[in-house]
Structure 1
Amino acid sequence: MSVPTMAVTTAVCAYEVLLPERGVAALVGDRQIALFRTHDGTVFALDNQDPFSGANVLSRGIVGSRGEVPTVASPMYKQVFDLRTGQCLDDPEVRVASYPVSVVDGQVVVGYGDN
């Protein structure tokens, strides 16, 4: 019988340092993640690695939307990812990991690990 492991949470940065419509890279555990703050103040976290190029660049992508879907376009080949789920909107077979994010006492807290 295997024992499920719990996700770990960690404070990554102050909310105020995240600029609206911009991304920033952070090392969380052993993972490079991309944090994004949208115009409405919502914070999202995805893997920073672009699955098409293998480069850790999603945090440098262009934040926008497709309809009601908040997105980031990779700076490499311009594929667009849903910030909520990590799903690639241009190639439904591809996705990057998304992580739960909350703001607690002004700090951005990211959950990671096996659930």
Structure 2
Amino acid sequence: HLRERLPGRRIVVFDRELGAHASSIPEPENLVLGEIRETASRFIGIDAALVHADIGTGYDDRDAVTSTWLPDLIARLLRVGGIAVSGTPLDHPLLQPLPPPPSVPPDRYFVCRRV
């Protein structure tokens, strides 16, 4: 649905493995498979307008580890003014927390703007 709403914008998809329906698979140059912590580092400085990182597991101990590296990675991917949406908190000096939409339950998603 992002492609429908943002025609003409480059959308790079990161995933551990390909499991999407054939109609949802992006072009090969916009599909990056592997562990996001390793693969996304090749895109630092891309000046992304939006980063959606729904990689939380629901296990507090695992998500705590993700929270040690994900906020910095997102801050380095986003352009100034870019927006990040994550399933885990994004505590970073360059990421300003924003309120999620009213329809989103508390602590389900975290929204930030790159300052």
TM-score, normalisation: structure 1: 0.27
* More strand by percentage: 1
TM-score, normalisation: structure 2: 0.27
* More helix by percentage: 2
